[in-house]
Amino acid sequence: MQDPIQSRQGFGLVVLATLGWSLSGLFVRLLPNLDGWQISCWRGFWLAITLLVYLTLRHRGGLVDAFRQVPLAAMIISAVGFAFGTTCYVASLTITNTATVSTIGATSPLITALLSYWVIGERPSALNWLAGVLAIIGVVVIVRHGYAEHNTWGIVLALGVPITFALQTLLLRLYRHFDMMTAFCIGGFLSFVVGGVASITVSKNSAFILTGHDMGLLLVMGAVQLGLPLILYGWGAKSVSAVMLAIIAMLDAVFNPFWSWAFANEMPDMNTLIGGSIILAAVVVSIATSRDSRPDTPHA
């Protein structure tokens, strides 16, 4: 059985993590001179440095062992999946609006619910499924608008986000007895390499020629907007079910467009507002899952 106090603490940590992640769209809007590859490159680098500092302080002399203890398959899947997902996320933000990307990302709870029992042995409750369906409805409202505006490529990239996020969430739960921040640290360095190479070969813009202002924003983005929330999310994953983790993270679809509107004048359209309202309702429904959950023990 889950400890109710630990579950509430985990819930709070995941909410804080989501609030941090929701600043991503604003940071991208504050870097208009950079393309997605450049942003992904240095965002990944500063994330990796942040996690490396955190892991060093946490494990002290046992840092190398912390990396070695994680099963190799889990390390590879998590690192590659994380690098792929964050790259898709940033790239999609540079070519379509924040609200569309965030709302498509809100489909992750349904993907998590579909896989959670088979991967980690956690059976979603009826309210989990209801929240997932509400999320899908909200996404459909936004996606239809995006297709109407012929923003297909941005939507395709954004679809990679919920798939990889669901995978990361399931692996965090399955291997919660290991420090999976090690895998995300490697994933950050992988994003740095891939983004740096792609910025030169694909977009023809060198990721290594940036202004001090842009690099400063990227440092804050990698450390505060991504790194710290990821650590909080990892802590929360130890006491919150995979489906609940993904549902709480749907708040990104509400707060991300809000920050971009409030500080970067990116006005959400009516379809986005409607879809975001539906997703917010899904989060409210998910809160009730604490009373309607079946505490199956994950296979870990």
Average pLDDT over residues 126-145: 73
Alpha helices in 96-238 (DSSP H): 98-105, 108-120, 126-148, 152-174, 181-201, 212-220, 228-236
DSSP 239: T
Residue range 24-57, pLDDT digits in tens: 888 988 998 888 889 999 999 999 999 999 999 9
Structural tokens at position 269: 């359209």
Checking if the pLDDT of 71 tops 70, the result is yes
Residue range 204-243, pLDDT digits in tens: 877 788 999 999 999 999 999 999 999 998 898 888 877 7
User: What pLDDT, on a 0 to 100 scale, did the predictor assign at position 283?
Assistant: 66
Checking if the pLDDT of 182 tops 80, the result is yes
Instruction: Pick the closest to residue 78 from 181, 231, 197 (CA basis).
Output: 181
Structural tokens at position 83: 């690098």
Checking if the pLDDT of 142 tops 60, the result is yes
What share of the chain has pLDDT > 90, as a percent?
Answer: 31
The three-state secondary structure class of 180 is: coil
Instruction: Pick the closest to residue 97 from 250, 279, 221, 266 (CA basis).
Output: 266
DSSP 23: T
Residue pair 15/248 in contact by the 8 Å Cβ criterion: yes
Confidence of residue 287 (pLDDT cuts 50, 70, 90): low
Structural tokens at position 95: 């070519």
Checking if the pLDDT of 295 tops 60, the result is no
User: What pLDDT, on a 0 to 100 scale, did the predictor assign at position 289?
Assistant: 57
User: What pLDDT, on a 0 to 100 scale, did the predictor assign at position 104?
Assistant: 78
Residue range 207-217, pLDDT digits in tens: 788 999 999 99
Give the containing element (helix H, strand E) for 36.
Answer: helix 36-59
Average pLDDT over residues 129-150: 69
Structural tokens at position 121: 């042995």
Checking if the pLDDT of 4 tops 70, the result is no
